[in-house]
């Protein structure tokens, strides 16, 4: 029976997604969460916080040499951010597809940045760019006990049995 199939969590990966202060202030929290949720990905961690500038610098440590680094860290720490961990098969790379290209002028329509943002410095959302970054960013933003392990009610309708 399809309803009784087992979905094994072993293939599920995790990614770190943040709604930046512009996305929060523009009232886009539900819109953004909804896109990940409707796709079939599962929310396993969420909180709202205003990161310090030092914390923002840690988050963007690989961009320290870029000319926009200071402004970027000022901006990320300028107001509340929604920090999330999403789970699912392929969620790291597909999450990036849902988000769209870094510069909203180049993001495809249908993506979050393509539909909802206009300039690169106000592109409303962050998503981990690979497995290693995802692990590091989740560890930076969340304590293990802040993440929830559960079976989603529709998982057996989203995945095939394996
Ligand atoms: P990503 O967010 O798509 O992974 P990254 O290259 O990691 O893009 O850059 C991190 C963030 O830095 C971007 O989301 C954007 O907000 C900002 N950023 C990137 N390039 C520029 C730029 O040329 N000018 C201003 N801000 C930039
Ligand atoms: Mg990046």
Question: What is the pLDDT, as a whole number, of residue 11?
Answer: 77
Q: Which atom of ligand 1 is nearest to 121's Cα?
A: 26
Residues 6+ apart with CB under 8 A from 27: none
CA dihedral 143, 59, 43, 40 (to 10 degrees): -150
Query: What is the average per-residue pLDDT within 107-112?
Result: 98
Mutate to test the pocket of ligand 1, among 57, 61, 98, 102 (most ligand atoms within 8 A of CB): 102
- The pLDDT score that the predictor gives to residue 1 is 42
3 has a pLDDT exceeding 50: no
Cα–Cα distance for residue pair 96/73, rounded to 1 Å: 21
State pTM to two decimals.
0.95
**Is the pLDDT score of 7 beyond 80?**
no
């Amino acid at each position: 029976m399809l309803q009784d199939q087992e979905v094994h969590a072993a293939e599920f990966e995790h990614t770190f997604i943040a709604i930046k202060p512009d996305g929060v202030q523009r009232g886009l929290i539900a819109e953004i969460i909804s896109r990940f949720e409707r796709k079939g990905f599962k929310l396993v961690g969420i909180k709202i916080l205003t990161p310090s500038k030092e914390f923002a610098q840690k988050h963007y440590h690989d961009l320290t040499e870029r000319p926009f680094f200071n402004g970027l860290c000022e901006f990320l720490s300028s107001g509340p951010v929604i920090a999330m961990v999403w789970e699912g098969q392929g969620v790291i790379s597909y999450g990036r597809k849902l988000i769209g290209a870094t510069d909203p002028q180049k993001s495809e329509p249908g993506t979050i940045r393509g539909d909802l943002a206009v300039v690169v410095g106000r592109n409303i959302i962050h998503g981990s760019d690979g497995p290693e970054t995802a692990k590091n960013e989740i560890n930076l933003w969340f304590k293990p006990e802040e993440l929830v392990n559960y079976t989603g009610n529709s998982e057996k309708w989203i995945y095939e049995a394996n």
